[in-house]
Amino acid sequence: DTAVSQTPKYLVTQMGNDKSIKCEQNLGHDTMYWYKQDSKKFLKIMFSYNNKELIINETVPNRFSPKSPDKAHLNLHINSLELGDSAVYFCASSLQGFRYTEAFFGQGTRLTVV
């Protein structure tokens, strides 16, 4: 039973295309995230949703649009893909609360834009 699963695992596409990455968690968490990891392994937060509400929106181009249909799902749609979008995108989830929260990560989606 995968806790946080994202699809697809690999995505190769041409510049200018539109693509989506899907994420689902079965942990009962109420908060989900998208992170981008570049070639130097730097993991940078992009978005965070808590109970389907956008709570964090870092400086990310408008071409990136997250959508959370329910607490267990957070999808990422990317329009007009550019070469610089090539990276590994990680979905994560956690339980927000009064105390510390541990984030569980998916396996990542390796996006290559050619």
Interface with another protein (CB under 8 A): 4, 31, 33, 35, 40-45, 48, 50, 55-56, 90, 92, 94, 96, 99-108
What's the closest the beta carbon of residue 80 comes to another protein, in angstroms? Answer: 27
Which residues in 8-108 belong to E strands, given as ranges?
Answer: 10-13, 19-25, 31-37, 43-50, 53-57, 64-70, 73-78, 87-94, 104-105
How many Å apart are CA 110 and CA 48, to the nearest integer? 20
What's the closest the beta carbon of residue 110 comes to another protein, in angstroms? Answer: 8
Residue 17 or 101: which CB sits closer to another protein? 101
Is 104 within 8 Å of 3 (Cβ atoms)? Answer: yes
What's the closest the beta carbon of residue 64 comes to another protein, in angstroms? Answer: 17
